[in-house]
Each structure stands twice: as structure tokens, then as C-alpha cells.
Amino acid sequence: MKNQEPDSPLETAERDFIALGIAVAAIILLVGTGGSVLPKALAAVLYSQSKPDVLLVNALLLNVALVIFGWRRYRELTLEIAERKRAEERARLLASTDPLTHCLNRRSMVEATEQARALAAMRGEALAYCMIDLDNFKHINDMHGHTIGDAVLVMLCERVQALLPREAKLARLGGDEFAFVMTYPAGQHERVDDLVIRLFERVSHPFELPELTIELTTSIGLATDYSLDGTIDPVIDAAALMHRADMALYHAKKQGRNRYFWFDASMEHELRFRNQIETGIRQGIARGEFVPFYEQQVDVQTGALLGFEMLARWRSPQLGLIKPEIFVPIAEEIGLITAMSESLMEQAFADAREWDDALTLSINISPVQLRDPWFSQRLLKKLVEANFPPQRLEIEITETCLHENIGLVRTMITSLRNQGIQISLDDFGTGYSSLEHLHNLPFDRIKIDRSFVSELREPDRRSGIVEAIISLGRGLNLPLTVEGVEDEEILNALKSMGRLKAQGYLYGQPEDAVAVRARLRAAGQLNTAAAPERVRDTDDTQTRSRTA
Ligand code: C2E
Ligand code: CA
Ligand code: CA
């Protein structure tokens, strides 16, 4: 290619037109003048006859030069055009393919899907759009570096491509997300199922790299334009198919990854609900809609109130009173659990300062919060700000926390305990915590999950899991709390099992701060130093902490 700036196509066309005109005119002239001049010139040379007119000879030579010029220009042009075509082709290829895997990219996949749709329509076939997402691919990149990550992506792409029908189009949509689109005989979606199952099988083989072996799983979402009533829905265009497959993929991820789902309408509702919750949480934290409720914790033997477990509730203006099972996992996922939890703690510390000093406060801490190396510092700062004695606080962590970073968890537990905070292992027996964890980590208490407690209703099965956990706790010298004490039968069974703390609907449902205050006032268990001021001055914690 020439170095100078390429001319605009219009200029080039104009110049080409002039060059062509000159060449044609020159040829016509050549025929005209050449017809008379050439024989004369030849005769002058061969037979020494009179020379032709100089002017005419010059015109003839000029003609010849012009024809040569025109022809060369024409040659140049054809070469230039071929070169340009090649460059355009290359640019188009680059713009439409993924540079790493050489399959299509996100942009060109829309067009490819529309083309596949047209093809399917012509043949009366259905279209399947499949979204593939690698599970935990980020870990591979983080652990082994991007070069290894890239190599895995390329290998994966080859494996998938090898399984697909010839006409199917495979694209890398970005990162670790792939998609393919294929036509299939309407109504025979099991063909697609078969293909996807084979795909799972292929991907499950370890990826052998020169230095290491990597194992992967994927999640898959599928969508089709074929309706259950046996027709092909013309409304479902490429964009709609992609969106649906995306929702199905999201569903597969939610269900625990390494699986696939076809889109169905319920997923759309689910997603809409989720979005509503997500926006609600964001706004609700700022508006103070998350409030602590408290569940009584009682001494099984004496029936004395020992303290409360704080349980989060969301007073949503649109949705009503919502339980943590709905909003805690979403808050964790969207990175708002710390903000939510800290706002709840502030309220709970202020509430609990009004209670009798002997009453404890337990709070649940999410595994996500424990990943923050500054967690204990933040918590201690909150305690100081609220002037709340750490000895009255108990932190409940679940077994899931223990898989993630046992070293970090141990440091955290140790530094919290050094401040006087108690740590209990919540929902014991529902996760995978090993005896080793129990033995090695300095817990202060085990909480037996309520799912095991209902067995105490059946007198014959008394020597079941609850008893086993209780004797385990005794062996490790750890006190125990039993959740889910719903009726007298359970309570009576527990009474024969020694000293235990218990909580459950038998003692009362979780209630808000106002109800707890009324309960404690009636029982004479309000902290007389803090309570009257709180009544007068409900929001100024600073003043209270100075005067207390
Ligand atoms: P959990 O720690 O196991 O809390 C006990 C759950 O059992 C509470 O449900 C409580 O209302 C319920 N419960 C108590 N007694 C009984 C009973 O006798 N029978 C039955 N069937 N259920 C009983 P809740 O309030 O819906 O909380 C669910 C879970 O949400 C809690 O389980 C806890 O893991 C989590 N959670 C609650 N508040 C927070 C919070 O502030 N932060 C975090 N990270 N998690 C929280
Ligand atoms: Ca708990
Ligand atoms: Ca539990």
C-alpha cells in the first residue's frame, strides 16, 4: 500500500474516469492518425520516400504515450482495488470475530442469529440459542494468571465447536461467556438437550496444559422460538432469544451452577421480583427500613431470660414485613450486607443498652462480612461509639464461614475474643464443619439448628442428633444453645439433657424494640441508668454515652 493518505472514493473515481477518457481518446486518435501516418512513416524508412508531416508524427508518438499511460493507470487501479478489498475483508473479520478464540464476537452474533432465524424460517425449523458461562472462571485467572485463563478459553472453544452442527454459529460474548445458535427440527428439542449433555460431558474432562491440569464446570441457559402450542413465534427475534437464554442461564447459576435450563416464563417473573427487591434494598437502607427484631434466649432449667438474638426484618412500604431469608442473600450478592448489618448493629446496640446489663445480645454475621479483614476493627469501633460493653455481645457465625479462609477467620475470632466478645458456631450440623474446626477454633458456644430439634417431639427418637451434638459440646467443654423450641414436648425433652440455653416460639416470636422494651419494663429488667433518657431523647446516642 502507498504511504500517502488514501483519496476519497469520489476523487479516485473522478481521476479514474479522466484517465479512462484520456486513454480512450488516445486510442481513437491513434486509430485516426496512425492509419495515415504509420504507412507514410514506414515508407519513409524503408523506401526513402518523403517524410510524413512532423506534427502528425509527434501526435502519433503522443498518442502512443497516452495509451501506455492509460493502460498503466488501469493496471495500478486494479491492483489498488484488490488490495483494498483484502484490507476491508481483514477489517471486517477483525470487527466480527473474537481475537483470542477466533469465533464470532458479541456484535456479530446478533447478525448471525438473525441469519439463522431466516434460514430456520425458510426450512420451517426452530431456533435454539444457548448461553454458556464458565463457573468460577475468575478463580482460574486469579490463581494461575491470564495466560493460562486464555489457553483454557481457547481449548474450551475448540471442544464446543467440535460438537456443534456445521451450520451452528459459536461466539464468545466476552470474558468467560460463550453462546451458540443452531436450527433444529421444530418440536424435537431433545436434540438440543442431547447436544448440551454431550457438551457438559466434554467440558468435564480436565484441561491439560503443559504445567498443570484445570477442571471446569459450566452453567447453560437455553431459549427457543418454538412455542409449546407447536408454532414458531415470530415475535421472538434475536434480541429476545438472547435475553431469554440469559435469564435461563441466571437461573442455572442460582440453582447451584454446573447445570442447564430452558427458559420459561416463571424465570422472568422471578427476575422482576428480584430486581424489585434489589432496588428496594438499596433505597431501604438509606431510608432506615431495616430494623432489628429480637428473639428471647432462655435458660432451659430455670426459665430465666438470658438475652436476645437480633434477627433482621425489612419493613418495606411496598412489600410489607420481609424475612431475612429473602433479602440477606441478595444484600450479600449486591455488596450491601455490610452497610445493612452495620445499620442494624447501631440500632441494636442502642436498644440493648436500655436492657438490664445482665442480658446478652447475639448478632448474626454473614460469611461475606467475615471476608473483610477490617471486620473486627469496624465492629469494635461501632461498640465504642455506642458505648456498648463487648462482654454483652455474642457473634453468631455459620459453618460456611469456615471453608473460605480459615486463617483469616481464626485471627478475627481471636481478636474479637480478646475484647471480650463471645463467638458461637450457628446452625451447627447443617454445613460441613469438621470436628477439627470445632477443636481448633476458639468458639465459646455451639448453636444446634432448629431442623434437628423437631425430632425431640417423638419420644422414641430421643437419642438422636440433638443428644449427639449435646454430648459433643460437653466433650469439647462448649456450652450449647438449642433453637426452635416450639412446644412443651420439646422443652421437656431438653430439660432432661442438662444445662442449655434455648430459644423458640414457645418463649415468643421475634418482636421489635418497642415490644421488647415493654416486656422488659413489665419484668423490671430495664436498665434504669439508660432507659429514662432514651425515652426523652430517642436519637442522640452521643449524649447518652457521655452521661451514662
Ligand atoms: P437463624 O440464625 O437460624 O435464626 C433463627 C431463625 O429461626 C429465625 O428466622 C427465627 O425467626 C426462626 N425461629 C425461631 N424460633 C423458631 C421456632 O420455634 N420455630 C421455627 N420454625 N422457627 C423459629 P429468621 O428471623 O427468618 O432468620 C432466618 C435467618 O436469617 C437466621 O437464621 C439468620 O441466619 C439470618 N439472619 C437473620 N438476621 C440476620 C442479620 O442481621 N444478618 C445476617 N447476616 N443474617 C441474619
Ligand atoms: Ca443465628
Ligand atoms: Ca438456625
**Cβ neighbourhood burial of 1 (10 Å; 0-12, 13-18, 19+):** exposed
Q: What angle do CA 424, 429, 431 make, to 5 degrees?
A: 90
Task: Count Cα neighbours of 499 within 13 Å in the Cβ-side half-sphere.
Answer: 8
Q: Is 450 in the pocket of ligand 1 (CB under 6 A)?
A: yes
Q: Which residue has the least CA distance to atom 19 on ligand 1?
A: 484
CA 118/CA 183 separation, integer angstroms: 10
How far does residue 311's CA lie from ligand 1's centre (Å)?
6
**Average confidence (pLDDT) over 314-320:** 96
Candidate of 296, 311, 338, 448 to mutate for ligand 1, largest count of ligand atoms within 8 Å of Cβ: 311
| β-bridge partners, 422 | 394
Q: Look at residue 305 and give its three-state secondary structure.
A: strand
Question: What DSSP element (H or E) covers 291?
Answer: strand 290-299
All three cell numbers of 356, joined, read 438490664
Q: Which residue has the least CA distance to atom 42 on ligand 1?
A: 364
Q: Is 511 in the pocket of ligand 1 (CB under 6 A)?
A: no
Domain ranges in the chain are: 9-96, 104-263, 290-523
Q: What is the pLDDT of residue 15?
A: 65
Q: Is 323 in the pocket of ligand 1 (CB under 6 A)?
A: yes
Give residue 512's Cα distance to chain centre.
35
Summarised one tens digit per residue, pLDDT across range 437-453 is 888 889 999 999 999 99
Output DSSP code: residue 167: T
Summarised one tens digit per residue, pLDDT across range 79-91 is 999 999 999 988 8
**Closest alpha carbon to 158 in 125, 199, 110:** 199
Ligand nearest to the CA of 369: 1
Q: What is the pLDDT of residue 458?
A: 78
Q: What is the pLDDT of residue 475?
A: 92
How far does residue 426's CA lie from ligand 2's centre (Å)?
6
Q: Is 328 in the pocket of ligand 1 (CB under 6 A)?
A: yes
Q: Is 432 in the pocket of ligand 1 (CB under 6 A)?
A: no
CA 58/CA 229 separation, integer angstroms: 85
Higher-confidence position of 358 and 95 = 358
Q: What is the pLDDT of residue 461?
A: 58
Residue 306 Ramachandran class (φ > 0 left, ψ -120 to 50 alpha, else beta): alpha
Task: For helices 238-254 and 265-286, give the axis angle rounded to 10 degrees.
Answer: 70
**What is the percent of the chain where pLDDT is above 90?**
71
Q: Is 295 in the pocket of ligand 1 (CB under 6 A)?
A: yes
Q: Is the pLDDT of residue 320 over 70?
A: yes
Strand (E) positions, 332-479?
360-364, 393-398, 422-428, 445-448
Q: Cβ distance 171 to 100 under 8 Å?
A: no
Written as one letter, the residue type at 413 is: I
Q: What angle do CA 471, 474, 480 make, to 5 degrees?
A: 90
Could you tell me the pLDDT band of residue 314, with boundaries at 50, 70 and 90? very high
CA 415/CA 421 separation, integer angstroms: 9
Residues 6+ apart with CB under 8 A from 522: none
Could you tell me the pLDDT band of residue 544, with boundaries at 50, 70 and 90? very low
Written as one letter, the residue type at 23 is: A
Q: Cβ distance 96 to 169 under 8 Å?
A: no
Q: What is the pLDDT of residue 462?
A: 55
* CA torsion angle 320 324 330 335 (round to 10): 110
Give residue 209's Cα distance to chain centre.
27
Q: What is the mean pLDDT of the chain?
A: 89
Could you tell me the pLDDT band of residue 36, with boundaries at 50, 70 and 90? confident
Task: Give the number of other Cβ atoms within 10 Å of residue 488's Cβ.
Answer: 10
DSSP string, 416-454: HHHTT-EEEEEEETSS---HHHHHHS--SEEEE-HHHHG
Q: Is 505 in the pocket of ligand 1 (CB under 6 A)?
A: yes
How far does residue 314's CA lie from ligand 3's centre (Å)?
19
What class, spelled out in words, does domain 104-263 have in CATH?
alpha beta
How far does residue 362's CA lie from ligand 3's centre (Å)?
13
Q: Is 344 in the pocket of ligand 1 (CB under 6 A)?
A: yes
How far does residue 322's CA lie from ligand 1's centre (Å)?
12
Q: Cβ distance 342 to 378 under 8 Å?
A: yes
Summarised one tens digit per residue, pLDDT across range 487-532 is 999 999 999 999 999 999 999 999 999 999 999 999 999 987 764 5
Summarised one tens digit per residue, pLDDT across range 265-296 is 999 999 999 999 999 999 999 999 999 999 99
Strand (E) positions, 185-266?
207-208, 213-214, 218-224, 260-262
CA 192/CA 436 separation, integer angstroms: 46
Question: What DSSP element (H or E) covers 132?
Answer: strand 126-134
Q: What is the pLDDT of residue 71?
A: 86
Residues 6+ apart with CB under 8 A from 392: 307, 352, 357, 359, 360, 361
Q: What is the pLDDT of residue 125?
A: 95
Q: Cβ distance 284 to 317 under 8 Å?
A: no
Q: What is the pLDDT of residue 542?
A: 40
Kindly list the distances between the CA atom of residue 82 and the CA atoms of 77, 153, 296, 425, 509, in Å, as whole numbers in the listed order. Answer: 9, 35, 84, 74, 81
Q: Which residue has the least CA distance to atom 27 on ligand 1?
A: 324
Task: Give the number of other Cβ atoms within 10 Å of residue 429's Cβ.
Answer: 19
Residues 6+ apart with CB under 8 A from 198: 163
CA 453/CA 489 separation, integer angstroms: 11
Q: Cβ distance 473 to 500 under 8 Å?
A: no
Summarised one tens digit per residue, pLDDT across range 184-235 is 999 999 999 999 999 999 999 999 999 899 999 999 999 999 987 888 888 8
Written as one letter, the residue type at 269 is: H
Q: Which listed CATH number (3.20.20.450, 3.10.310.40, 3.30.1490.20, 1.10.230.10) goes with 290-523?
A: 3.20.20.450
